[in-house]
A and B are shown apart, each in its own frame.
Chain A
Amino acid sequence: DSGVTQTPKHLITATGQRVTLRCSPRSGDLSVYWYQQSLDQGLQFLIQYYNGEERAKGNILERFSAQQFPDLHSELNLSSLELGDSALYFCASSGGSKNIQYFGAGTRLSVL
C-alpha cells in the first residue's frame, strides 16, 4: 500500500458528461501529480500541485482542470468527456528532496 488513495476505482459515464476524480496523498506529502494512461500509451503527465498551488503543467487538455485543497487532497475534473478520454488516471504524491513519487491504485474511466 503506497498510502495514496484514489476514488473511485472505476467510473463509467457518457460522452459530454463531467466527472471528478479524487486523490488523497500520503500523510505529509505536499506534492500531488496527475497522470493519464491511455491504451497503448505510456504514463502522460498532466499536472502537479504543491501545497495548494499549481507547480507544473503537462499535456492537460483545456477541458480538464485540477485543484489541491488546504487539506492537500486533490481533485481532477474532466468535462465534456469524449470517447478518447477513456483511460486509467493515476495520482501520485511526493514529499522528499528526491521527488520519489508514490502512486495510487488509479481510477479507470470508461466513456461510452
Chain B
Amino acid sequence: ILNVEQSPQSLHVQEGDSTNFTCSFPSSNFYALHWYRWETAKSPEALFVMTLNGDEKKKGRISATLNTKEGYSYLYIKGSQPEDSATYLCASRAGDYKLSFGAGTTVTVRA
C-alpha cells in the first residue's frame, strides 16, 4: 500500500482568496496521480488524472501540477467560492492497478 500524504488536513479560506495544498506520494514505480473532489453527502468526483512529470491540468478555477521526480502534486484554487468547499483527495497509482488515496484536505470557503 502506497503512503500518500496530504497537507494540510483542513483549511479555511475567505471567499475570493486563492489557496493551494499538497499531495506527496512515493516517486518510485509511479504511474499516475489522480485528484478527486468530495462534497459532503455526495460521492468523490474525478478532477484530474496526471501522468507526466511537469504536467499541469486546469478545470475552471482549479488547477494542479505534478512533480514525479520528487513525488508531489499541488492543487490550486483561484478566487475561492463557497461552492469550492469540499474535501479534495489525491490518489497515486503505481505499476499495479490500485489507487492509494490520501486522507484528503478539507477546504471550507467562508463567505
Does the CB pair A105–B42 fall under 8 Å? Answer: yes
Q: Does B55 contact A (CB under 8 A)?
A: no
B34 touches A100 (CB 8 A): yes
Nearest neighbor of B42 in chain A, beta-carbon distance: A105
Interface readout for B88-111 with A: 1 if CB under 8 Å, 0 if not?
A: 010101001111111110000000
* A100 in contact with B49 (CB, 8 Å): yes
Which label, helix, strand, loop or mixed, suits the secondary structure of the B interface? strand
Chain A's closest residue to B47 (CB) is A100
Give the docked Cα–Cα distance between A25 and B38 (Å): 19
The answer to whether the Cβ of A43 comes within 8 Å of any Cβ in the partner chain is: yes
Q: Is B44's beta carbon under 8 Å from chain A?
A: yes
Is B13 part of the binding interface, using a Cβ–Cβ cutoff of 8 Å? no
Other than the given A56-B97, A56-B98, A99-B49, 7 more pairs (CB < 8 A) read A43-B91, A44-B101, A45-B98, A45-B101, A99-B97, A100-B46, A101-B46
